[in-house]
Amino acid sequence: MSFVDLTTLPADALLARSADGDQRAFAEFHRRYATRVLGLARRVVRDAAIAEEVAQDVFHELWVKAADYRRADGDPIGWVLTRTRSRAIDHVRSEEAWRRRLVDAGIAAYERDADVVEDAALAAETRRVVEAALGILSEAQRETLRLKYSDLSFTEVAERQGIPVGTAKTRVRNALAQLRSHAPASLVA
């Protein structure tokens, strides 16, 4: 095999040799154009580390798909830079979509957190108002209401308290009337 001076070969010949698996030809192509590919990637993505990833991806793709290049595609470096620009733009779009998803998730989490805090505050205030309102009732009325609102029937409430069913109903009715007359409208509504 004769030694070929790769530095004298045009870019399309280097790509053709690379497509045939010539690593030296690909290394020469990389040496010639890596700076331009990296520079374009940096201008698009505006981050040196990400630009290096994009450039590496482009050169990996070129190694794998060097046979895809056709002279009809234009100048080899134009073809490579078009691939670089496309890959960099794809990366930027992907990054923007990822950030939007993070922002949307953050806003949703913030709104959920705000709702939880608001609900807890409202529940605490309601509990405070209800406890204050219950303070105006007699102990018998409070106990009758507690039993009735723990899903017991009037008969079961009366049996537990050892009182007639009619008395249990009267206590609940009178207790609710007292609460309505003393509780804030927002609580009764």
Q: For residue 11, what are the contacts with CB-CB under 8 A and spacing of at least 6?
A: 29, 32, 33, 75, 76, 77
pLDDT at 101: 75
The total number of residues shown for the chain amounts to 189
Domain ranges of the chain: 6-92, 135-188
> Of 66-75, 81-90, 95-104, 134-143, which gets the smallest average pLDDT?
95-104
Assigned architecture for domain 6-92: Orthogonal Bundle (1.10)
18-68 confidence digits (pLDDT tens): 999 999 999 999 999 999 999 999 999 998 989 999 999 999 999 998 888
What confidence score (pLDDT) does residue 38 get?
Answer: 95
CA distances from 59 to 39, 113, 153 (A): 14, 46, 79
- CATH number 1.10.10.10 given to 135-188: yes
